[in-house]
A and B are shown apart, each in its own frame.
Chain A
Amino acid sequence: MLGSFRIASDVRYRVIDDEAVVVRQGEGDVLVFNQVAARVIQLVGEGLTSQQIGDHAVDEFDAPEERIREDVAMFLEELENLNVVERLPQDEKNA
């Protein structure tokens, strides 16, 4: 799980009661994500790399490490597909 992401420029979000409310301004819609995805979005917003996000998640959630890292990678991919996060330019070259 390599690479770094950032919140897409037209996305606004807040974590409310452990869920992430994500507004895609371009599409004009609202998405709600669960606790783990909310934390991933929050950590992307704080500028952490995928590796660092995985490390945080392992510390914070009570599940086998391998499973958590897989979930984080899956969420990041899903968020990228939804245009909620975007890969940083350096990583686009490496992808």
Chain B
Amino acid sequence: MSTFPEITARAWNECRLLDAVLELTHRCNFDCFFCYNDRALQTWPLTYDEYSDLMEQLADMAVLNLTLTGGEPLVHPDFFAIGARVRDLGFVLRLKSNGHLLRGDVARRLKDEVAPYQIELSIHGATAEIHDRQTQHPGSFNRLLKNIDEMSRLDLRMKLNCTLTAWNEGEVVEIFDLADRLGLLLNFNATVSPKDNGDTTPMSLAPTPEGISRLARVLGQRREEAQRREQGEDPLGDGKEKRPDVIRHCGAGASSVTIDQWGNVMPCVQWRRVVGNVREKPIAEIWSTSSDLEEVRTLTVEAKKVVPQFDGPEDVTIFCPGIADLLAGDALASYPGLPSHEVLSSSDEDDAVDR
């Protein structure tokens, strides 16, 4: 009998769809500087009935994990109806949210009507100064902490997601300390993406090589501490290190897929090459016959071989073939804003000397 990491490894290697991400809307109640969504895009979004049909197809394909994201998914007018359908179809639901609306009736309804496995909340700093600077919404940090407290009392499982930026890279330890005080897992993402339309303005906030090295050092220390305490991680989490013998750099288009609010199917939220549209073909047909998707799968295998020359220190994934495809026109090439391995290595040595 297999272990779950073995099953996810097989999904990556054999292209079995296990995870689907639905971007319900690009609308948001915040205005984060580094947001990758192109809000200028306007066409006719999927209706509730179209979502319901799509999710039935995904359930028939034995997709286990379904993530609702945005924008801010809670501002979608049919959010609760869609969420309840996710529950009824037996998906393990993750909700990615900025957390601002998750209080009072909304939090209670989420618990009762949607019953997510986990709410992944975006945090941008350890202080209101840094967090609110990112969201451009004064008071958002303090309200997030209050909402987390309220959701804890409702027994809603939460996790924090933080994108490492030039603004918060000096607070990595403090952000971990905050997550520890809140009793929440924290996941750092060291990649600041360009906008969906290729605009690289958000990447001006990309973390420095020093910041990335510092994050890697903190992650390494925490991994060792967790091993000493035999502390568990998210059992359904990304945990690439636990996956035996994966042949790909990532699961984009191999075990996971992203579908935007207009039905466009893409390998990943960051790899926005449209490989089909669910209004034109069933998702199973796109999954099994798209030549674009087949090419992406080949590229993720190739990326695994070339990535060591680009990628960050242990525990930190920086290189993204989707961003490389968008910015360099080649999923296996370096791209503007990607610090070289040499720079990261020397920065790590500088840090070691500084300590």
Per a CB cutoff under 8 Å, which of B2, B10, B92, B157 touches A12? B92
Contact indicator B2/A32 (Cβ below 8 Å): yes
Contact indicator A32/B4 (Cβ below 8 Å): yes
9 smallest beta-carbon distances between A and B, as pairs: A14-B64, A14-B62, A30-B4, A12-B92, A30-B235, A34-B1, A23-B92, A25-B117, A29-B235
List A residues 1-53 near B (Cβ within 8 Å): 9-10, 12-17, 19, 21, 23, 25, 28-30, 32-34, 45
Contact indicator A21/B64 (Cβ below 8 Å): yes
Contact indicator A16/B1 (Cβ below 8 Å): no
* Closest B residue by C-beta to A13: B90
A71 to chain B minimum Cβ distance, whole angstroms, is 15
A21 to chain B minimum Cβ distance, whole angstroms, is 6
Contact indicator A19/B157 (Cβ below 8 Å): no
Contact indicator B117/A12 (Cβ below 8 Å): yes
B103 to chain A minimum Cβ distance, whole angstroms, is 21
Contacts of A15 in B (CB 8 A): 62
Between A and B, 16 residue pairs with Cβ closer than 8 Å are A12-B92, A12-B117, A16-B7, A16-B11, A16-B64, A17-B2, A19-B1, A21-B4, A21-B64, A25-B157, A29-B235, A30-B235, A30-B236, A33-B1, A34-B1, A45-B90
List B residues 1-52 near A (Cβ within 8 Å): 1-4, 7, 10-11, 16, 18
Contact indicator A25/B2 (Cβ below 8 Å): no
B63 to chain A minimum Cβ distance, whole angstroms, is 7
Tier of interface size on chain A: 10 to 19
Contact indicator B236/A23 (Cβ below 8 Å): yes
Per a CB cutoff under 8 Å, which of A10, A16, A29, A30 touches B115? A10
Flag whether B91 is at the interface (Cβ < 8 A): yes
Contacts of B2 in A (CB 8 A): 17, 19, 32
Given A19-B1, A30-B235, A32-B1, 8 further pairs, Cβ under 8 A: A12-B91, A17-B10, A17-B16, A23-B64, A23-B117, A25-B92, A28-B157, A34-B1
Separation of A32 and B63 alpha carbons in the complex (Å): 15
Separation of A21 and B236 alpha carbons in the complex (Å): 11
B86 to chain A minimum Cβ distance, whole angstroms, is 10
Contacts of B10 in A (CB 8 A): 17
